[in-house]
Amino acid sequence: MYQGKHENALAETQKEMDAARNPGETRLAHFTRAVVYMDEGKSDLALKEIGKEYAIAEKLKDAGSMSGDVAATANILLEEGKTDEALVEFKRSNDIVQHSSLAADVKAANALFHHANIARVMIARGDAAAARTETEALRQEAEKRQSRNQLRLAHELTGLIALEQKDYATAIDELKQANQQDPRVLYNLALASQASGKTEEARTYAKQSARFNGLPFMNYAFVRAKAEKLLAAL
């Protein structure tokens, strides 16, 4: 996939599918196929694979996995600019958990993360005020829990809001405090650096994002091609 050989990559995922020994391994194969399709720019086919994942989880009545699959669907829709549809799916993802028999702490953690999902939709819509409200709710609860991961996420969202508002200095400062192992964060740092005239920094971040080459996951598929394009332009 990272060599641009998507057909070969899909052939490998078929071998993975054929060798699957249990539903979990079959689900992983579908997810990997979804990542390959998304990396190739075929979001419609990626959504179909996530749908197949969901069907397996639904049959097993696995609420946690069902919620994750719906959230993955929402993220793909959001990436495609379909904010209304994404919002519906994010809410459905949270509802699945809240109406399940999962532990109370799992429900609380999911509700907290739901603020981040809604914030992303609001950022995409250009509604900075609503995005800030959701981000602040996330930040306050993360501080109470002393959750470093959630605090990094709050910094990322604050950085994205600033980026949309063309406040590039704040965007850079906040994104540097976000998860540096997420190529999407690195890509947005490249954009903020480019916009503020810091070409060398932009090139460094774009390269880190484009050449991340980690295990397949959806955030990388969302930005890899864009980061390569930006790197070439820089």
Which H or E run includes 214?
none
pLDDT in tens, 160-210: 999 999 999 999 999 999 999 999 999 999 999 999 999 999 999 999 999
Confidence of residue 110 (pLDDT cuts 50, 70, 90): very high
Lookup: tokens for 100: 């399940």
Evaluate whether 214 touches 39 at the Cβ level (below 8 Å). no
- The label of the residue with tokens 């063309």 reads 166
Quick one: how far is CA 81 from the chain centroid?
14
Q: Given this model, what pLDDT does residue 216 score?
A: 74
- Read off the pTM: 0.95
Evaluate whether 64 touches 46 at the Cβ level (below 8 Å). no
Q: Given this model, what pLDDT does residue 101 score?
A: 97
- Residue spans of the domains in the chain: they are 180-234
Q: What is the mean pLDDT of residues 138-167?
A: 96
pLDDT in tens, 60-69: 999 999 999 9
Which DSSP symbol is given to 177?
T
Q: d(Cα 97, Cα 114) in Å, to the nearest integer?
A: 11
Cα→Cα distances 55→25, 58, 61, Å: 14, 5, 10
Confidence of residue 215 (pLDDT cuts 50, 70, 90): confident
* Phi/psi of residue 80, nearest 5 degrees: -85, 5
Lookup: tokens for 199: 């070409």
Give the three-state DSSP class for 147.
coil
| Burial status of residue 101 (CB atoms within 10 A of its CB: 0-12, 13-18, 19 or more) | exposed
Q: Given this model, what pLDDT does residue 200 score?
A: 98
Nearest-CA neighbor of 74 among 58, 96, 54, 91?
Answer: 91
* Phi/psi of residue 126, nearest 5 degrees: 80, 20
Confidence of residue 214 (pLDDT cuts 50, 70, 90): confident
- The label of the residue with tokens 């459905």 reads 92
Q: Burial letters for 16-49: b for 16+ Cβ neighbours within 10 Å, e otherwise?
A: beeeeeeeeebbbbbbbbbbbbbbbeebeebbeb
Mean pLDDT of the chain: 97
Q: Given this model, what pLDDT does residue 77 score?
A: 98
